[in-house]
Homo-oligomer: A and B are copies of this chain.
Amino acid sequence: MNEIDNDSFQKSHKNVTIIDVARASGVSYSTVSRVLNGYEFVKEDTRQRVLEAAEKLGYVANLQARSLAGGHSNIIGVLVPGLDNSYIGEIIRGVDEELARANYDLMLYTTHRQRGHEQRYVNTIANGLTDGLLLVVPEVPTDYLKALSEKSFPHVLIDQSNVRDSSSMVDSTNWQGAYDATRYLIELGHRRIGFITGMMELSSAGERLDGYRAALTDHSIPFLPELVAPGDFWQRSGHKSGLQLLDLPAPPTAIFASNDLMAFGLMEAIRERNLSVPEDISIVGFDDIPQSSIVYPPLTTVRQPLDQMGRVAARLLLEQIENPDRPPRRVTLATQLIIRESCAALKERG
């Protein structure tokens, strides 16, 4: 086979490039680039010819070349612990919607992949093809946050507010939400209100505990440490701590779980003890993930606007990318108590 054959063979494997379009439309390839990038000062006639040629040839831009040369990829990374919690799914949904609107693509990274190498991992991400990074990480990520900030790489944290770093972030009113839920229980007549904590390394967990405690105090109800059981935001811990609370000599008449998943575990525990919700015990959760309205009884919970948090975070990030000098912002969205059927007024004793 001669060179020409070989060449055409190769071409058939290649995608059509800007050069092919240039040849087909009889202009230089930088003009093609201009047309494709919406540069104004191109003769209408030329523009048409280029567009037609591109269309006919089925030209599609090569993203890596474009970003190599142009310095940005229109891709943003989202770093999450994993996909096994619909809490994450909701956030990503919001992110995705907002990104779609701005014509960005989404690269999904899960931390469970590279335990221990996260520092380097985040470096790779930042240095790689993403224009910005959204972090929904459960551990306090101070080490790599510093790296991100030093590079002044655009990033925003979601639902992780205890970092004193100069990063943008969005969270929700954890304290207020917990306060509201607790007050609701108090207003129903409950006095012995149990609490299952979240993973206490997370700021949100601490804020929720504080809100619970504050509501108690404001209503002159003593805070009893034995009514607080440890949890880690996973269903299993809700079950275990639920049992612990239920088996107390003087068990609580209501329990506030720091998130919905644990409330589900708690519901299991309650069933195992042959008690029923809300007749024997009232429970409330936190998050309002989709299945909370599906379980039986439907769970009263503090709604975190998860998808909106994702949306807002994405927007903050995009702003930061467009305007790198803008100082970090912090947005806190309001939670809302969603009353369903898992709580009842305290029965008259006797």
> Chain A: residues with CB nearer than 8 A to chain B?
15, 58, 60-65, 67-68, 73, 75, 82-84, 86, 89, 92-93, 96, 100, 105-110, 112-114, 120, 123-124, 127-129, 235, 264, 267, 271, 290-291, 294-296
Contact = CB atoms under 8 A, between A and B. Distances in A.
Given A235-B294, A267-B296, 14 more contacts: A60-B120, A60-B124, A60-B128, A64-B67, A64-B128, A75-B107, A82-B93, A84-B89, A96-B108, A96-B110, A129-B129, A295-B295, A295-B296, A296-B296
8 contacts: A64-B68, A64-B73, A84-B290, A86-B290, A92-B108, A96-B110, A100-B110, A267-B296
A297 B69 CA distance: 58
A105 B107 contact: yes
A277 B101 CA distance: 44
B127 A15 contact: yes
B100 A93 contact: no
Given A83-B89, A86-B89, A108-B106, A64 B129 contact: yes
A128 B62 contact: yes
Contact of A84 (B73, B93, B100, B296): B93
Contacts of A109: 105-106
A320 to B, nearest CB: 16
Nearest to A58: B123
Contacts of A73: 64
Chain multiplicity (copies): 2
Contact of A264 (B84, B271, B294): B294
Contacts of A291: 291, 294-295
A11 B73 CA distance: 20
B64 A83 contact: no
Contact of A83 (B84, B92, B105): B92
A14 to B, nearest CB: 10
Contacts of A290: 84, 86
A124 B74 CA distance: 13
Nearest to A268: B294
Contacts of A296: 267, 271, 295-296
A128 to B, nearest CB: 4
A15 B124 CA distance: 11
Contacts of A84: 89, 93, 290
B82 A128 contact: no
Contacts of A108: 92, 96, 106-108
Given A100-B113, A294-B291, A65 B68 contact: yes
A61 B15 CA distance: 25
A45 to B, nearest CB: 25
A319 to B, nearest CB: 20
A109 B67 CA distance: 19
A105 B124 CA distance: 11
